[in-house]
Chain A
Amino acid sequence: MQVTGTVLTTRRVDAYHALTVVAPGIAERFRPGHFVSVAVGGGHTSMVTRRAFSVHDVKSDYGGTVELVFTVRGRGTAWLAERRARDTLDLVGPLGRPFPLPRDPAHCVLVGAEYGSAVLFPLADALLARGCRVDFVLGGAGAERVFGAMRARRIAETTTLTTEDGSLGLRGRVTDALPSVIADTRADAVYACGPMETLRAVTAVGMEFDIPVQVAVEERMACGIGVCMTCVIPVIGEDGATRMVRACAEGPVFRGERVRFEDVGTIPFDALGAPGGGARHVS
């Protein structure tokens, strides 16, 4: 659904921006893993594509608020970073398919790189409410790029932090720390969000331990609702066939081992409808 939300608060969180927006209908339908899309640039904007953001927090005050976390990457996010309290925002959501939750209490490791960590916090709340054990592994390039370390420490059994420059926690990537965390916590499942390369590595670790990995992908989108066909990635279906599926409509959450990470950005030759399989013309 589409909501004209009012910005409640804005804050800086280390290297990132966080916006809390009053968006009643969205907050009440939200499930962990859902995302929202935002129109940027105001009324007669020259920016025609929406920006998709994962939701860091949902609260029921003021009729329902959602908090978005983002980093300034271009004109659209720069505009968003300039929003102040009481400004209005055009939001569409909740979008996508949420994280599946374990039926019985399980031990879950939540892995987040950079601001991809944001999406894991509503998930952690939902898992804790079901009696699951939650452990975090959060990482980033440097200390100021590790998102949500404080909150993770407050709610999780253990929190392991990694930075590539060694300025916080262990030196290295989240996947360097992940095997020992899985072993120590006797984890039953892994949930991950972050850049494709991180998700690929997390999935590889999960497969080594033979436990399921649920990944939330961050793919560039124009619409977020499944009509523009620009956010596709190669995913193996139930029938074993690879299809180019939309990260916004069929995702953003996928089972890690179903995603052909090595082939993201290409059309694998064996994908359904790949060139050479019939009509070759393009438009």
Chain B
Amino acid sequence: MSVDMRTFLAHVELANPITTAAGCASSGRELAQFFDLHRLGALTTRSITMAPRAGRPTPRMAETPSGMLNAVGLQGPGIEAFLERELPWLAQRGIKTIVSIGGGTVAEYSELARRLADAPGVTALEVNLSCPNIEDRGRIFAREGSAAAEVIASVRSIMRYDVPVVAKLAPDVADIVSVARACVDAGADALSMINNPLGMAIDTEALRPSLAAVTGGLSGPAILPLAVRCVWQVHAALPGVPLIGIGGVMSGRDAFQLVLAGACVVGVGTALFHDPYACLRIERELEDLLRARGFQRLADAVGLAHRPPGSAPRHLLVDTEESAP
């Protein structure tokens, strides 16, 4: 028996729930050397900015216990080159593509949305809200519900109605539920969480910060519990909103945790650095776990861990079905 792995990101159907996390699949071509990208539920691009960006100086990466810090600084070709070279390559192959965008002002996000509104091949738009707002002393959009909502409302009003707008939230905020609610009220069709929490490491030989940028985003299995907690809290408060769960997923079991907490799509990031085939392996492992527990559809497991203690599973296990009178 095979498990029905189809899932919906708002109204868009994906063949399976596994996507790449933003910034972890570069332009897509790098991973295409290893496997057929059609086997992904969707590919999420790196965060596209208006102008080309050279990013941060090196060292940009430091390995930490069960994780890594990165300070790449959104290196990328800019929207022009993205629309000319990268998106058409994905679109011509019919690869479901979630385009991530990043900006420093509401106007910049809006302009990016305007440029992407008529571009073929945009399955969904993910708004990376973990960028400093240069109009508000560099405060991160995602840390403030009102700033995040302003970006989402503007992008939502520009984007075509049939392209879902996904707000990507940061975990290092006082109350992720209030930011999530502000984004949904502003029109976000779905939410994705979590972006990298900020961390830091110090090189004890050089007696200096390990990263040239001093602080960097922490990723890898170290942040999985943080992701599970955020997905859980947001799903509990907003059960109707589709969630993309991201953060330290290395195995099908990790993905299953996020699904049980309420995610209907799971993003794989740092695992790709360790294993280029991670997405396929995780999808297979997740399907095996669901099958072993008698699920016929992935959708039946989404948010299942929220059921009250002592209550029976919402679905019928295969063997109990057979033994029923």
Contact = CB atoms under 8 A, between A and B. Distances in A.
Contacts of B72: 228-230
B276 A92 contact: yes
Given A280-B104, A281-B131, A283-B74, A271 B54 contact: yes
Contacts of A230: 58-61, 70, 72
Contacts of A185: none
B34 interface: yes
A273 B51 CA distance: 7
Contact of B54 (A2, A226, A273): A273
Interface in B242-265: 250
27 contacts: A46-B221, A223-B272, A223-B276, A225-B31, A226-B26, A227-B30, A227-B31, A229-B46, A229-B75, A230-B58, A230-B60, A231-B58, A232-B75, A264-B58, A267-B54, A273-B76, A277-B51, A278-B52, A280-B104, A281-B102, A281-B103, A281-B131, A281-B133, A282-B56, A282-B73, A283-B102, A283-B132
Given A2-B276, A264-B58, A48 B78 contact: no
B67 A227 contact: no
Nearest to A277: B51
Interface in A32-83: 39, 46-50, 76
Interface string A209-253: 000000000011011011111111100000000011000010000
Most buried by A among B26, B50, B54, B133: B54
Interface string B195-218: 000000000000000001100010
B198 to A, nearest CB: 10
A278 B50 contact: yes
A100 interface: no
Given A48-B68, A229-B75, A283-B128, A2 B275 contact: yes
B108 interface: yes
A244 B57 CA distance: 9
Contacts of B272: 223, 227
A49 B273 contact: yes
A230 to B, nearest CB: 4
Contacts of B78: 273
A279 interface: yes
B130 interface: yes
B65 A49 contact: no
Given A39-B274, A228-B24, A267-B54, A273 B30 contact: no
Nearest to A51: B63
Interface in B9-52: 23-26, 30-31, 33-34, 46-47, 49-52
Contacts of B102: 281, 283
A102 interface: no
A272 interface: yes
B75 to A, nearest CB: 5
Given A227-B31, A272-B54, A281-B104, 16 more contacts: A2-B275, A48-B63, A48-B221, A48-B271, A220-B59, A220-B61, A222-B63, A222-B68, A244-B75, A273-B55, A279-B53, A279-B104, A281-B49, A281-B132, A282-B56, A282-B213
A226 B56 contact: no
B134 interface: yes
Contact of B270 (A48, A225, A249): A48
A274 interface: yes
A283 B68 CA distance: 16
A62 to B, nearest CB: 24
Interface of B is mostly: loop
A278 B105 CA distance: 12
Interface of B: 23-26, 30-31, 33-34, 46-47, 49-61, 63, 65-68, 70, 72-78, 102-104, 108, 128, 130-134, 138, 212-213, 217, 220-221, 250, 270-277
A266 interface: yes
Contacts of B24: 227-228
A232 B30 contact: no
Most buried by A among B58, B212, B217: B58
A44 to B, nearest CB: 9
Nearest to B270: A48
A47 B56 CA distance: 23
A131 interface: no
A267 B274 contact: no
Which 5 residue pairs of A and B lie closest in terms of their CB atoms, listed nearest first? A278-B51, A281-B104, A273-B52, A230-B61, A223-B273
A231 B57 CA distance: 10
Nearest to B33: A225
Nearest to A244: B54
Contacts of A76: 63
A49 B57 contact: no
Interface in A78-101: 90, 92
B61 A222 contact: yes
Contacts of A223: 272-274, 276
A272 B77 CA distance: 9
A220 B63 CA distance: 11
B80 to A, nearest CB: 11
A279 B108 contact: yes
A271 B75 CA distance: 12
A105 B128 CA distance: 54
A275 interface: yes
Interface string A179-216: 00000000000000000000000000000000000000
